Amino acid sequence: MSFAAFRRLMFQVHMWVGLVLGLLLALLGLSGSILVYDDAIAKLLAPMPRASAEGQALPLDKIVEAARGAAGAGAMQIALAREPGDPVSVRVTRPRESAGRGEGRSERRPADGGRAGQGGAQGGPPAPQAATQVFVDLVSGTVLGARKAQLPPILAFSHQLHGNFLMGREGRQFVGWLGVAMLALGVTGLVLWWPKRGQWKYAFFVRRTAKGLRFHRELHAATGIWIFVVFMIVSFSGVVIAFPNTFGLAGGGQAGGGKSGGGVTFNLREGPEIAPLVGATAIGADRALAMAHSAMPDAEPTSLSLPVRPDRTIMVNMLAHGAVGATVYIDPWRAQVVAKRDPSQNFLAWQRPLHQGSGLGTIWKALVFLSGLVPALFVITGVIMWVKKRQRRLPMTATLAEEAVG
């Protein structure tokens, strides 16, 4: 096959993937751009109360008592204050009373705030839950406010759209295949952009004299090449996240196995199942945090999950190298670390922070944000080029010379 024939094939793939899936890809990109700055948007739309007391921080166990007094008993996720003036945010989740006898089972929210996936444990839908977010001043222990734990509507919609295209768990693979389509557009777009000899100086910008068809083509091509590397990294990482089993990113951890193996596999979001120790008193949040520090001294703790079930571990969620999520699982009855997960040495574990723009600096975060906007630009300019060529009865693979009258 000659290069000209290969290029025509690449053009057909590029054009039809863009025309057929362009709107879906644009929506996927725009929702992703919103989620890059979801924390800032959440603080803007649903601001937390400010903690104003000055002095030494209280033990976390006192914070837990204050939150329990405001919201009742239940599983707790304690998000540690990360900036001056931030309160400690405690999410208290308790099952609503079921219609039958007894209470429903409590399910824990994923440590990453829900981005990791949707739905409860396997074996049936989780029991209905009532979750309350309580804000506590870390110094005074004063409850500064409480509200229903939920994201602002625009963020909740964006999470669902970007994560599963509003299709539930089945939509995750659909999103993954859209990511594959983006990779295909990137590769074919690079082939189509590749300039001929003597044209390289015109390939990276839009000429002032460009108008009509040529303007849209140059804008399409120049934008694509400047964002190409970031676009491909974000698209590839999205595919990895959507198909974790394929890339070996999913699965459980191992408790007690060590390097030699032989441990018990468990669900990473729920932790290993343990046996309560008769006559023992469970350790509190402060002791668990200190144990996690000792187990992973180079990681930064971000939150603790205190279970409501006695057969589950305390989970201390950490950031390894400032970006990759890690977890220490602690048996509260025996006061011992039963498992820990630090995937920071695994290349695939870095795909989530690369995709989300988190923990890798403000410049990368801004570039990831821009990479989510460009699919919409590609769709607009691509459709305009397609319409203009049809109006002028030009072949879709027309050269620049044939387009010059645009």
* Domain match, 215 and 231 both: yes
Q: Determine, yes or no, domain membership for 56.
A: yes
Give the helix/strand (H/E) hosting 10.
Answer: helix 3-36
Q: CA-to-CA distance for 137 and 50, rounded, in angstroms?
A: 8
The set of residues, in sequence order, having a beta carbon less than 8 Å from that of 182 and lying 6+ positions away, is 25, 231, 235, 238, 375
For range 30-36, the mean pLDDT: 96
Q: Is residue 230 part of a domain?
A: yes
Six-digit token string for 78: 């304690």
User: What confidence tens digit (pLDDT) does each residue in 73-97 have?
Assistant: 889 999 998 888 889 999 999 766 5
Give residue for tokens 């408790």: 255
pLDDT category of residue 111 using cuts at 50, 70 and 90 = very low
Q: Are residues 323 and 384 in the same domain?
A: no
Q: Is 90 exceeded by the pLDDT of residue 404?
A: no
Residue 1 lies in a domain: no
Lowest mean pLDDT, pick from 85-99, 115-129, 225-239, 328-342: 115-129
Q: Are 112 and 315 in contact (CB under 8 A)?
A: no
Say if residue 290 is in the same domain as residue 378: no
Residues 145 and 79 in one domain: yes
Distance separating alpha carbons of residues 282 and 279, to the nearest angstrom = 10
User: Does position 271 have pLDDT exceeding 90, yes or no?
Assistant: no
**Boundaries of domain holding 302:** 246-355
> What is the predicted pLDDT for the residue at 402?
52
Residue 122 is assigned to a structural domain of this protein:
yes
305 and 276, same domain (yes or no): yes
Provide CB contacts within 8 A for 248, sequence distance 6+: 348
Q: Which residue, of 151, 177, 198, is where some domain finishes?
A: 151
Of the chain, the percentage scoring pLDDT greater than 70 comes to: 85
Where does a domain end: 151, 186, 208?
Answer: 151
Share of the chain above pLDDT 90, in %: 60
Q: Which two tokens stand for residue 83?
A: 């900036």
Measured distance CA(201)–CA(218) in Å, rounded: 12
Question: Mean pLDDT across the chain, nearest whole number?
Answer: 85
Residues 116 and 144 in one domain: yes
Residue 14 inside a domain? The answer is no
Which of 123, 151, 179 finishes a domain?
A: 151
3-state helix, strand, coil in the chain (%, to 5): 45, 15, 35
Q: Does residue 136 fall inside a structural domain?
A: yes
Is 2 domain-assigned? no
Q: Examine the domain organization and report whether 108 and 206 are in the same domain.
A: no
Residue with more model confidence, 104 or 347:
347
For 300-347, write each residue's pLDDT tens digit: 999 999 998 899 999 999 999 888 889 999 999 999 999 998 888 888
Residues 237 and 319 grouped into a single domain: no
Cα angle: 235, vertex 240, 242; to 5 degrees: 95
Q: What is the dihedral of CA 231, 232, 238, 240, to 10 degrees?
A: -170
Q: Are residues 250 and 344 in the same domain?
A: yes
In b/e form, how buried is each residue of 321-352, taking b as 16+ CB within 10 angstroms?
Answer: bebbbbbbbbbbbeeebbbbbbbbeeeebbbb
What pLDDT is recorded for position 251?
A: 54
Span 281-292, average pLDDT:
94
Residues 205 and 345 in one domain: no
Q: Domain check: are 369 and 238 in the same one?
A: yes
Provide the number of structural domains found in the chain. Answer: 3
Same domain, 268 and 180: no
What mean pLDDT is predicted for residues 282-296? 94
Within a domain: residue 160? no
CA angle 325, 330, 333 (to 5 degrees): 160
